[in-house]
């Protein structure tokens, strides 16, 4: 593990701003922290730079829309996108979790009766509004025994101070140092050497490979003739 200050110092040494053993000034360190947080903020939108998916539950009431984000109905850091949304029927023992089908923006817009009610929901749509996202369930569920289960990528949080200890999976420290050095170069009128540029790219690629997650391949049953199955031997 390392402190944020160590990442900033290493990046400045990559650029030759600091010599070995030399300590960054307060201005240099604080500028490095600000640039590092700008990087982290940008990477929040790159799915393969996010290493964890969290499962968060909430109570489903007889309403369609739920806010998602810090302080919202689903109290998590506001995600840019969602992996899955399910509902949990608590009337069974044990509870039973069911998968909901996501709707694209076009599919959501095409629903004529958005206020249609039903005992259980079948679909979900996520609008990444700001500062809180908006999650909509359809049809509007009327059952009183439901909970929602939201699976959302949780990005690396911005760092509060130079003394904060960084605890991240393998590969992140090098990625932070190399990419921070590249981004700090213009501030110190330093050229970005081809080696540094290549190392910054390669370190991100390594983290993305590590964060790649397998997913199930699925098809709409209508595409497969309504049965949901396709025989590669008969072509039917």
What the block records as the tokens of 156 is 């690396």
Please give the C-alpha separations between residue 45 and each of 136, 141, 151, 153, 156, in angstroms, as whole numbers.
22, 31, 16, 10, 11
What the block records as the tokens of 46 is 């790159």
Quick one: CA torsion of 88, 90, 96, 101, rounded to 10 degrees? -20
Instruction: State residue 234's pLDDT score.
Output: 55
Does residue 13 carry a pLDDT above 60? yes
SS3 for 186? helix
Q: What's the CA gap between 52 and 56, in Å, rounded?
A: 13
pLDDT band for 213, please (50, 70, 90 cuts): confident
Total-model pTM: 0.79
Domain boundaries, the chain: 2-48+156-211, 55-153
pLDDT band for 231, please (50, 70, 90 cuts): low
pLDDT, mean of residues 136-140: 98
Q: What's the CA gap between 35 and 194, in Å, rounded?
A: 21
């Amino acid at each position: 593990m390392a402190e944020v200050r160590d990442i900033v110092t290493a990046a400045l040494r990559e650029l030759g701003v600091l010599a070995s053993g030399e300590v960054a000034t307060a201005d240099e360190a604080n500028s490095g922290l600000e640039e590092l947080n700008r990087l982290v903020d940008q990477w929040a939108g790159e799915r393969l730079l996010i290493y964890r998916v969290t499962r968060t539950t909430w109570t489903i009431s007889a309403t369609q829309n739920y806010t998602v984000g810090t302080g919202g109905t689903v109290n998590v850091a506001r995600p840019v996108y969602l992996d899955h949304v399910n509902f949990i029927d608590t009337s069974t023992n044990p509870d039973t979790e069911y998968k909901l089908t996501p709707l694209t923006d076009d599919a959501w817009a095409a629903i004529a009766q958005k206020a249609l009610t039903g005992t259980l929901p079948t679909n979900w749509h996520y609008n990444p509004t700001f500062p809180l996202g908006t999650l909509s369930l359809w049809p509007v569920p009327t059952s009183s025994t439901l909970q929602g289960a939201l699976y959302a990528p949780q990005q690396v949080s911005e760092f509060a101070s130079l003394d904060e200890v960084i605890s991240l999976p393998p590969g992140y420290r090098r990625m932070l140092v190399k990419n921070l050095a590249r981004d700090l170069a213009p501030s110190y009128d330093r050229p970005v050497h081809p080696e540094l540029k290549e190392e910054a790219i390669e370190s991100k690629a390594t983290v993305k490979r590590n964060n790649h997650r397998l997913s199930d391949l699925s098809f709409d049953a209508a595409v497969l003739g309504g049965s949901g199955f396709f025989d590669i031997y008969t072509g039917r």
